[in-house]
Structure 1
Amino acid sequence: MDRTTRQAALWATVVAVPLTLIVALLVLLTIRPGDSAPAAEPSPTAPRPQSTTPVAMPAPELSTRAATVCRALLSRLPASIRDLHQRPVTEGPEQNAAYGDPAITVSCGVTMPAIPPTDLVYPLSRVCWHSADRQGATEWTTVDREVPVRVTVPKQYDQPGQWTIAFSDPVIAAVPSLKQIPTGCGP
């Protein structure tokens, strides 16, 4: 190797080695062990912990026909609605169901609500529902079924009607329609 080439190689080494050490030091300083990114907020769609304790629900005595219809309805309810899993209830598992925490509840065989003439009824997925705001929740009750079914959606859930729609198919499958339905429910 001639003298010029050797001198160039020496200068390249003299420049490259310190430069490499400086870059390595900068990388180590910016990526230190123990430094971590701030904890990410859970996404609204991420599963969240849910209570498994029974939900307190009353279970009024039902007529034989209503009890049969309610058992048929409860057998058709899904195990979960969106990310809310079904929970046990304190009374009447043959007529009541609960989902999530806070619990969205389903009660079969409830009293038919008195609907003021100015109130709206909502045909949601071929079932006619009446909505009433209660303290901390919205109650949706079927008004076109032989045995009324009530779905109670706590205020913590947005768009309570969308949660209620999830129960329309089981209601259609298990609870016969009334012959005369309220005005506003028909096609």
Structure 2
Amino acid sequence: MTVPSPEAKAAGLCRDLHEQLPEKVEGLERTDPGPESELTAGWGDPAIILRCGVPRPPEMIDPDYAAKNGVKVNGVAWLLQKNDDGSYTFTTGARLAYVEVRLPEERTGDGLGPLTDFAGPIKKTIPQGIA
């Protein structure tokens, strides 16, 4: 997995988030992927993967795309992208660091459930704003 390389401010926010992430997501145990980093985390196998400090997706600046593919879960706005392999990528919007969550195809049957486990830690550690 590719570890993001954000600017210092976003990296600090991501380290704060890392400390607040849950040990379980949707009942899946935390199994962080390699290489070890405070910018990445994972749960289960196949894993739900979280990466913090990713670049802003280009689709996010297209208001029509964002309006059609945006979801809000427990106060956190996400941009939804379906990938060719059947997985989904969700990226936070309107936060000072971008957080990406990738749900493998095998985990997409739970809908947005996994995102509820991330809402509290994200709201607590990544302030609203534009990165």
TM-score (norm 1): 0.62
Partner of 2:87: 137
Structure 2 residue 129 is matched with structure 1 residue 178 = yes
Letter in 2 for 1:151: V
Higher relative contact order (CA 8 A, sep 6+): 2
**Identity across aligned pairs (percent)?**
27
Distance 2:37 2:30 in 1: 11
Letter in 2 for 1:81: V
Q: Deviations over 1:52-107 (max 9, x none)?
A: xxxxx211322111111000001000111132001132125210000001000000
What pairs up with 1:1-187 in 2 under 5 angstroms?
A: 57-115=1-59, 116=62, 117-118=64-65, 119-134=68-83, 135-157=85-107, 158-178=109-129
Deviates more, 1:95-104 or 1:129-138: 129-138
Distance 2:21 2:94 in 1: 19
Letter in 2 for 1:160: G
- Judge conservation of contact 1:153–1:160 (CA < 8 Å) in 2: no
Letter in 1 for 2:17: L
1:159, distance to aligned residue in structure 2 (A): 3.0
Q: Deviations over 1:110-155 (max 9, x none)?
A: 1111233143311110000010001231001001111000000111
What value does the CA root-mean-square deviation take over the aligned residues?
A: 1.7
- Judge conservation of contact 1:58–1:92 (CA < 8 Å) in 2: no
1:168 is paired with a residue whose SS is: helix
- Judge conservation of contact 2:21–2:121 (CA < 8 Å) in 1: yes
Q: Which runs of 4+ in 1 moved over 6 A?
A: none
Count of residues in correspondence between the two structures? 124
Structure that is richer in strand per residue: 2
TM-score (norm 2): 0.87
Q: Which runs of 5+ in 2 are unaligned?
A: none
Distance 1:102 1:65 in 2: 31
Distance 1:95 1:154 in 2: 19
1:139 is paired with a residue whose SS is: strand
Structure with higher Rg: it is: 1
